[in-house]
Amino acid sequence: MADVLSQSQIDALLSSLIKNDAAAENAVADEIAAQDEKKVKEYDFRSPKLFTREQIKLLFGIYENYARIVSSQITGLLQTYTLVELLEVEEQKFYEFSNALPDSVLLSVIDFPVLGNDDEENFMFLDVAKEIGFCTVDKLLGGTGKPLDEDRDYTEIELTLLENFMRGVVAIMKNVWFDYVEVTPRLTKLETNARILQGISPDDNVVIVAMSITVNETQGRMNICIPASTLEVIFKMRAAQSKKNSRKENVEAETQRRRNILGNIYGSDLEMRGVLGRVMVPAREVIHLEIGDVIRLDKAEDSMVELTVGESVWFKGDIGVSNRRLAIAIRECLKGGKDS
């Protein structure tokens, strides 16, 4: 029996003693045994776990963040409410994962290279339930998103649509791993037959990241299978980076990251306008304007022209001509822009 009994268990024991009710006593014993059984978890010492509780917890945090981001990604792609929730992260044998798969699946084979490790090929699998697969195809083709009632294989057109969809789902993994290791995940191919998977032995350890997906009223599962060899490389690289990283390296990495962001911003197009002046004119006067009429602006003749970027004034200058085109010579810069 347990060391500490609850109040309900104590009351039940007293009731059974007073009434001499053997059935009640057996019921209490069964309840205590059931509680004790929940606390016990089987452990196979012949095939010990390869990853610590802290490492599994790290993966849980990474893919919990992934679930939130991929929810927004799928919602935007399908233009309908989508919820992705992380259920569990568990280490098991690969045959347990493969045996649970049906014969016909939608399985993405993902190339998962880790920066700084070119010696080994790292990969993982991503399995999406058929209900979600057919629901996605229906939404992409303009339907309501209802899954098919019949069980059939995907057509070539459906696989092409799903391949483009899965590329976006896979690419998000780069963002959630960025703070730990730099990876460049890439969708290699889609498999529809779970029995032809290669590259991993049935007795190899894997970590299964189980998620649930809800698209409108359609629910299904999405499972990510990460082989132990891939995770060992990741944790090894992360440990090495933690030892070598210094404050100077962090500053350089942040500086390079800032340069990359600014480099992308510098290539974007911005509309710039030269504003001579502004004036408020009643609608009735605008209707009766004719050729030769004069509109007085709110600025003096010798005032500078405002150059706006978006809705903010960034520069001031003088209007003139350059190569037979109207031009403005900048005379004053307003740091950070000034609201017009």
Same structural domain for residues 127 and 174?
A: yes
Residues 281 and 220 in one domain: no
> Quick check: 96 and 210 in contact, CB under 8 A?
no
pLDDT of residue 295: 86
Give the structural domain span for 146: 53-250
- Give the separation between CA 89 and CA 279, rounded to whole angstroms: 65
Two structure tokens written together for 136:
């996605």
Does 262 fall in a domain?
Answer: no
Residue 87 and residue 26 share a domain = no
pLDDT of residue 162: 92
CATH classification at residue 232? 3.40.1550.10
Question: 75 exposed, middle or buried (CB, 10 Å; 0-12, 13-18, 19+)?
Answer: middle
- Count of domains observed in the chain: 3
Dist. CA 240–CA 222, nearest whole Å: 32
88, 204: one domain: yes
pLDDT in tens, the chain (340 residues): 445 677 777 777 776 666 655 555 566 566 666 555 555 566 566 667 788 889 999 999 999 999 999 999 999 888 888 999 999 999 998 888 888 888 778 899 999 988 877 767 888 999 999 889 999 988 888 888 877 777 788 889 999 999 999 999 999 999 999 888 888 999 998 988 877 777 788 888 999 999 999 988 888 999 999 999 899 888 888 877 766 665 566 777 888 888 888 888 888 888 888 888 888 888 888 888 889 888 888 888 788 888 888 788 888 888 888 888 889 888 888 866 555 4
User: Do residues 25 and 67 share a domain?
Assistant: no
DSSP assignment, residue 184?
A: -
- Alpha helical stretches, state H, 52-92: 53-78
Helices (H) and strands (E) in the chain, counts: 10, 10
Do 141 and 229 reside in the same domain of the chain? yes
Residue 306 per-residue DSSP state:
E
Task: Give the model's pLDDT for residue 104.
Answer: 77
Q: Is residue 266 part of a domain?
A: no
Q: Report yes or no on 267 lying in a domain.
A: no
Does 46 fall in a domain? no
- For residue 45, being part of any structural domain is answered with no
Residues 33, 59, single domain; the answer is no
My answer on whether 234 and 291 are in the same domain is: no
Q: Which residue's structure tokens are 């089987």? A: 42
**Domain-embedded: residue 59:** yes
Q: Are 314 and 236 found together in one domain?
A: no
Copy the structure tokens of residue 293.
């009429």
Tokens of 269: 């197009």
Q: Residue 121, Cα to own-chain centre: how many angstroms?
A: 24
Calpha distance 4→146 (Å, rounded): 51
Alpha-carbon distance 317 to 307, whole Å?
8
- Residue that finishes a domain, picked among 202, 219, 250: 250
CATH of the domain at 283: 2.30.330.10
Of 202, 225, 195, the residue nearest 123 (C-alpha): 225
Q: Is residue 263 part of a domain?
A: no
230-265 core/surface letters (b: 16 or more CB in 10 A; e: else): bbebbbebeeeeeeeeeeeeeeeeeeeeeeeeeeee
- Establish if 118 belongs to a structural domain: yes
> Apex CA 184: angle with CA 178 and CA 185, to 5°?
110
Task: Indicate if 96 and 33 belong to the same structural domain.
Answer: no
pLDDT score recorded for residue 39: 57
Closest CA to 206 of 103, 67, 100, 278: 100
| 201: CB partners within 8 A, 6+ apart | 94
**Residue 90 and residue 115 in one domain:** yes
Question: Would you state the pLDDT for residue 19?
Answer: 60
Same domain, 159 and 277: no
